[in-house]
Amino acid sequence: MIFEEILNKVLKTNSLTENEILELLKTDKPQKLFAAADKVRKKNVGDEVHLRALIEFSNICKQNCLYCGLRRDNKKVDRYRLEPETIIDLAKKAKSYGYQTVVLQSGEDPYYTSDIMSQIISAIKKFDIAVTLSIGEKTFEEYKVYKDAGADRYLLRIETTDKDLYEKLDPQMSLENRKECIQNIKKLGYETGSGIIVGLPGQTLESIAKDILYLKSIPVDMAGIGPFILNPNTPLNDKVKSEKLKVELTANDQNNFELALKVMAILRLLMPDINIPATTAMETLNPDGRMIALQSGANVVMPNATEGEYRKLYELYPGKICVTDTPYKCRFCIESKINSIGRSISQGKGNSKSKEIL
Ligand code: SAM
Ligand code: SF4
């Protein structure tokens, strides 16, 4: 089938085969794909943009993902963890800036036991604000404790569904366990967020097409798609340079940016009413990255609400945006950018329309 036929099919049926997804990923007419996704976004989730205040509360991680600057073996990062009172205070400030959701994100840091997390979540819920967690792989019981404490949403990217690649890039982790965690999150009634990194060395377009179908099969309520950005303080740096890893997609920032937009747009066409963030990594690769993403299918932005030096220390990849800004500045800066493209900020909690729970 040719590009236009595939586009017409997905607009009518919200479904695509793996081969059809592959054709869309390969298209040299991405603007048509982005425009179609933008139309579907407008029709199904409207013009409002939901803001989520991102609190990066610890950069300590027991895992060792080869692509991530927070990995355990990276000695070139100063580690920090915020006290529960500080996290609660940041959430309170976020609410005062008009946020209706906080996203608590960290490395997999064992300091935050279920008890501690549950205290933090229940304290924050008193501010009448939705809580999203993005703190990695946990047991079913741990996910249940957080849910019982009031957590509304959980974000755990699958990263890639290519088993060999996953297990090469995430040593000591398994794709089966990652999938089971996502199932458990879904089972417990969280609004379930997942997603992938686009442009990982060794990743193929075929595997990305499978990733997209996986996200649809869950089905996720939120899909976060981030372009891969090479971190010089990770082992991937040497591997990419020495070409020991088979690099089918070049680790080229602008390729990764456009490909990530394509993945996001295809997900919008397949899942018209989910929430899709314009990710920070997109803006790192392109100064207008988040606004371009908002015009290619996205409807959510996650401005940084972490304070002071910690913004810089939470360094997954180089060139992270807004590291010297304050949460207050980011909140109002993003609002004016969003208004400048004719969109408005939602005043509600922004639950996924695919799962109206509150
Ligand atoms: N530790 C939790 C986890 O892994 O789910 C949450 C925090 S982790 C830093 C959040 C996301 O950062 C990961 O899911 C991964 O997709 C992304 N990430 C890490 N390193 C990256 C890189 N070099 N380029 C793009 N995204 C990256
Ligand atoms: Fe840790 Fe998450 Fe980074 Fe992996 S991606 S090293 S789990 S913070």
Q: Which ligand is nearest to the CA of 155?
A: 1
Could you tell me if the CB of 102 is within 6 A of ligand 2?
Answer: no
Average pLDDT, the chain: 94
Q: What is the tens place of the pLDDT at every residue in 31-61?
A: 999 999 999 999 999 999 999 999 999 999 9
Nearest CA to ligand 1 atom 14: 157
Beta carbons within 8 Å of 170's beta carbon, 6+ residues apart? 63, 64, 65, 66, 159
- % of the chain residues with pLDDT over 90: 89
pLDDT at position 357 over 60: no
How confident is the model at residue 1, as a pLDDT?
74
Burial 98-114 (b: 16+ CB within 10 A, else e): ebbbbbbbbbbbeebeb
178 is known to lie in a ligand binding site: yes
61 is known to lie in a ligand binding site: yes
- Which of 316, 320, 321 has the most ligand 1 atoms within 8 A of CB, as the residue to mutate? 316
CB 108 within 8 A of CB 136: yes
Longest pairwise C-alpha distance within the chain: 57
Task: For residue 68, give the ligand 2 atom closest to its CA.
Answer: 3
d(CA 267, CA 110): 34
* Residue ranges covered by each domain of the chain: 31-341
How confident is the model at residue 354, as a pLDDT?
75
How confident is the model at residue 295, as a pLDDT?
98
Mean pLDDT of 256-278: 97
- For residue 272, CA distances in Å to 15, 31, 53, 266, 314 come to 11, 18, 24, 10, 32
- % of the chain residues with pLDDT over 70: 96
Residue 172, Cβ density class (10 Å: 0-12 exposed, 13-18 middle, ≥19 buried): exposed
Q: Does domain 31-341 have CATH number 3.20.20.70?
A: yes
How confident is the model at residue 243, as a pLDDT?
58
**227 sits in which H/E element:** strand 222-227
Mean pLDDT of 64-81: 97
Residue 159, Cβ density class (10 Å: 0-12 exposed, 13-18 middle, ≥19 buried): buried
Task: For residue 316, give the ligand 2 atom closest to its CA.
Answer: 3
Give the amino acid at 228: F
Tokens of 356: 């109206």
How confident is the model at residue 351, as a pLDDT?
86
pLDDT at position 79 over 70: yes
How confident is the model at residue 352, as a pLDDT?
85
Could you tell me if the CB of 54 is within 6 A of ligand 2?
Answer: no
Beta carbons within 8 Å of 1's beta carbon, 6+ residues apart? 9, 20, 23
- Which of 57, 72, 104, 108 has the most ligand 2 atoms within 8 A of CB, as the residue to mutate? 108
How confident is the model at residue 76, as a pLDDT?
96
Residue 2 CA, ligand 1 centroid: distance in Å: 35
* Residue in 302, 212, 320 with CA at minimum distance from that of residue 259: 212
Could you tell me if the CB of 108 is within 6 A of ligand 2?
Answer: yes
333 is known to lie in a ligand binding site: no
Mean pLDDT of 270-278: 98
pLDDT at position 239 over 90: no
Residue 154 CA, ligand 2 centroid: distance in Å: 15
Residue 185 CA, ligand 2 centroid: distance in Å: 18
Residue 34 CA, ligand 1 centroid: distance in Å: 25
pLDDT at position 252 over 90: no
Could you tell me if the CB of 355 is within 6 A of ligand 2?
Answer: no
- For residue 23, CA distances in Å to 104, 166, 244 come to 37, 24, 28
d(CA 163, CA 167): 6
- For residue 295, CA distances in Å to 21, 143, 209, 292, 337 come to 20, 34, 22, 5, 12
Task: Give the helix ranges, DSSP H, for 27-83.
Answer: 30-45
pLDDT at position 245 over 90: no
What angle, 0 to 180 degrees and rounded to 10, lies between the N-to-C axes of helices 205-217 and 18-26?
Answer: 130
Q: What is the tens place of the pLDDT at every residue in 324-342?
A: 999 999 998 999 999 999 9
Mean pLDDT of 160-171: 96
How confident is the model at residue 356, as a pLDDT?
52
290 is known to lie in a ligand binding site: no
pLDDT at position 248 over 70: no
ipTM of the complex: 0.99
Which sign does the torsion angle of CA 106, 251, 214, 15 carry? positive
- Residue 198 phi, psi (nearest 5): -110, 125
How confident is the model at residue 152, as a pLDDT?
98
Beta carbons within 8 Å of 203's beta carbon, 6+ residues apart? 160, 162, 165, 228, 248, 249
Mean pLDDT of 21-30: 95
Mean pLDDT of 159-182: 97
Q: Which ligand is nearest to the CA of 64?
A: 2
Which sign does the torsion angle of CA 321, 241, 247, 173 carry? negative
Pick 320 or 254 by higher pLDDT: 320
Task: For residue 234, give the ligand 1 atom closest to its CA.
Answer: 23
Nearest CA to ligand 1 atom 13: 157
Confidence of residue 125 (pLDDT cuts 50, 70, 90): very high
